[in-house]
Structure 1
């Protein structure tokens, strides 16, 4: 009997592709055959052809996708991806006649792709989804109709205390897609439809683990019993490391620099692959970091700073480079950086991948959310898990160097009521994360149950 053959199709953004690759890596270690679909432009730039039976990369055209930055243009990208259905269907048809590989058993879609249910139904193939944000955010999306009377949420101070499985939180903490009127219709109605369909899916994978989000995961299973935690996907002692993830070229020299720093003495700063910050905010961040007296490692992508010309940017970078306590690079091997003993805190945009990587490494977070669900993630980190602080004061439009300095000193401090306590809680999550991905852990068991169910489906 042929092993299950999973066709994986992520949303074409780095923060979505990497978790999908990591999930497929785990499935391949369980005996699955994986065909991973990438968009043609990314495929040509980032992947080498693979001839291995167990794990193969293929591509489909992406001419239909907009040329804009992803940023707040999510709905535009989702609408445009409708144009990829025909090519995807043709790929599945062609694979069915390929004697070298068994027919597709299941299509693993990114949960953002709303037409996946119809697609799989038409082809008679099982469907599974990967949700790359938090379980709390998924639960929020499952109950979107309950929020309709509060939208758009921008400027509202209402306390939302009626969401099943979630603690009370302010309406201002809702994702940015629910804050503005122009994004609530038709985007809001389309989101409701997408998440109603998710309630009926056989499997919805969440990159989280039980101790990280116990109440939201339990409540999500009340909505869909097969909504399961499978994280953290970025590390697993049972799977051999591979080079399957994608990212810009990493500057690994920063690891040698970290080796020369004292334990828990460095603030790591990164805003992920998409988020941007204003030039003025960057200046305030630097001033606060410099005044704190702590060493820092700052990832500054070419497109990170907004509102500055090339000369101003170069002068800013030169000023940082003159600081003996600082190091700037264009991209970092983030997981290795966060797990380095010299890193004591992470100043982050609080994208879910970064949040999970930081807390799985036992590193508390200095939270500076930029867009999407990052404000919502920040509320979970600061108010619920109590493993971080906010860099920006409430109700203030910009960032102030004095507050950055105060928060860095607080988190990096060594008294019981500040950094040590945050690190203690973060290290508890680190230990829990490692337990969950081991053979007797719940995240590992959830994947094993999925594998058994899909293999049973193959035998029918």
Structure 2
């Protein structure tokens, strides 16, 4: 039967395609993991998500792709060919955690810039064009492709709004130049304190701990590109929630002059125990052994110790950490990277430590299922490098922290945890170290023992920290549930770009 004009007019128009978000994380585990969670959240809520990375990093995300396929989620991993002709970058390095020399970081960023062309080619091949690009703050090269194709772009910034507001205010008010001028005039011994302007709370920093990624000599061009791309974006996506730092979210949005979408804690997207155990790596037997050990411990009795994917400690500092944990008298679960544990003297020393602390201490060599550990009832404290993922994961599970910042945003993250939220005990470091420690011992065993004892103790201050941590944990879960601030923000984000698609149609 041939449809008449009247019957054809009665046929409803097909619905517009769902909005398509292209996610472009920095090639570093601490940046990739939350953006993977973002991509999965978008897909679970009906949007299409494409996660753009390189072949080696794509192989690491095979489990994510398989998970999405099993759940029939509209998520794909897009692999762009990694440049091979970059001076100073050894072959095979495609992720920050593969770097073994501080001199390789700038060449790696030079290589990443060359992904701009392949990214634009991918975007041009999409019909219809993607609705939105969400690119890491550290990937300014994605901005040009968005601009040339007229695609709206949001930047994803890993740290909390507290840090980002400090950084933006320091940039806008010349704090970095002020600190540099003090140093040039020989009136700064490295510990002169400067007040961060226009903050809703009093924040002091030194030249060494002033806010800003890429502050070191040689990184000026990269930082300039990142700030320029930030200012050109249509808004920001931040892994935080209003119940944790609402005043800083609103102040940051006002200072930035564009929307700030707070969608976290993104780590709470995953409630399944098996998925938590393998998040970021292949969990398997490692998780089973850790879980069995934790199951044997009393509730809230274990201190968990881990310093993220980048910071590496040489033997002298490792030994101080181990002795301090032993001297604290508390049950401990300590993650030591394979590269740290590989020297013969370290292997021997760790074996002796485990023998002395048998039953009370567990050393995990290599990767550990951090999210599953922090959510275990036996864990009552976390010694952390203050990377925002780790701090937020701890807060989300109601676990107070010992703060041991190393570089970048971590010193200001410490100030947020200790001074604002009241959930942290500082270990006492005052100056950053590069990714690869030098031979000096920054923190002595006595400092480790003191901080762990304070964190895990029974006094009034320790009890108040635990109470605050539990309260923020409850707020974190509420933010991600239907009706919560982060859940509703994600709804509005998807709807706003869905309306863009409808207008295009």
Q: Distance in 2 between matches of 1:238 and 1:455?
A: 27
CA distance in 2, matches of 1:208, 1:74: 28
Residue 234 of structure 1: SS of its match in structure 2?
Answer: helix
What secondary structure sits across from 1:402 in the alignment?
Answer: helix
Higher mean displacement: 450-459 or 73-82: 73-82
In the TM superposition, 1:167-316 aligns within 5 A as 167-171=202-206, 172-175=208-211, 177=213, 180=216, 182-183=217-218, 187-188=219-220, 190-222=222-254, 223-236=256-269, 245-247=279-281, 249=283, 251-252=286-287, 253-304=289-340, 310-316=343-349
Which segment drifts farther, 121-130 or 253-262? 121-130
Corresponding residue of 2:151: 125
- Alignment partners' CA distance in 2, 1:360 and 1:124: 37
Structure 1 moving runs of 4+ over 4 Å: 48-53, 70-76, 175-180, 237-245, 393-397
Deviation string for 1:65-86 (max 9, x for gaps)? 7347188665543332111111
Which residue of structure 2 lines up, in the alignment, with residue 79 of structure 1?
A: 110
Q: How does 1:372-391 map to 2 (within 5 A)?
A: 372-391=408-427
Mark the CA change 1:188 to 1:386 in structure 2 (over 3 Å): closer, same or farther: farther
Q: Structure 1 residues 234, 397: closer, same or farther in 2, change over 3 A?
A: same
Q: Equivalent residue for 1:99? A: none
Pick aligned residue for 2:179 from 139, 150, 157: 150
| 2:26 aligned counterpart, secondary structure | coil
* CA displacement at 1:363 relative to structure 2: 0.7
Q: Distance in 2 between matches of 1:316 and 1:179?
A: 36
Q: Which runs of 5+ in 2 are unaligned?
A: 1-15, 432-439
Q: Does 1:90 align with 2:121?
A: yes
2:149 is aligned with 1:134? no
Range moving further from structure 2, 338-347 or 151-160: 151-160
Shift in CA distance, 238/451, structure 1 to aligned 2, threshold 3 Å: farther
> Structure 1 stretches of 5 or more lacking a match?
97-101
> Is residue 100 of structure 2 the alignment partner of residue 59 of structure 1?
no
> How far apart in 2 are the matches of 1:379 and 1:201?
28
1:372 deviates by 2.0
> Over the residues paired in the alignment, what is the CA RMSD in angstroms?
2.7
Matched, 1:339 2:375: yes
* Shift in Å, 1:18: 0.7
Shift of 1:128: 1.9
Q: Secondary structure at the match of 2:223?
A: helix
SS at match of 2:339: coil
- Aligned-partner Cα distance in 1 for 2:456–2:321: 16
Which deviates more, 12-21 or 139-148? 139-148
Q: Which residue of 1 aligns with 2:478?
A: 435
| Greater C-alpha Rg | 2
Q: Alpha-carbon deviation of 1:53?
A: 6.4
Of 108, 113, 135, the match for 2:134? 108
SS at the partner of 1:104? coil
1:156/1:414 CA distance change after superposition, 3 Å: closer
Residue by residue over 1:225-253, the C-alpha shift from the partner in whole angstroms, topping out at 9 and shown as x without a partner, is 31121110001389999689533546212
Compared CA separation, residues 53 and 420, structure 1 to 2 (3 A)? closer
Residue 173 of structure 1 aligns to a residue whose secondary structure is: coil
Write the distance in 2 (CA, Å) between the matches of 1:76 and 1:382: 36
TM-score calculated relative to the size of structure 2 = 0.82
Alpha-carbon separation, structure 1, partners of 2:153 and 2:196 = 33
- My pick for the range that moved more, 75-84 or 408-417, is 75-84
C-alpha distance in structure 2 between counterparts of 1:299 and 1:376, whole Å: 24
How do 1:2-21 residues align onto structure 2 when only pairs under 5 Å count? 2-21=17-36
Q: Does the Cα contact within 8 Å between 2:119 and 2:145 map onto a contact in 1? A: no
Q: CA offset at residue 445 of structure 1?
A: 1.6
Residue 69 (structure 1) aligned with residue 99 (structure 2): yes
Change (3 A) 1:177 1:118: closer
Distance 2:226 2:390 in 1: 25
Q: TM-score, with normalisation over the residues of structure 1?
A: 0.89
Is the 2:283–2:369 contact (alpha carbons within 8 Å) kept by the matching residues of 1?
no
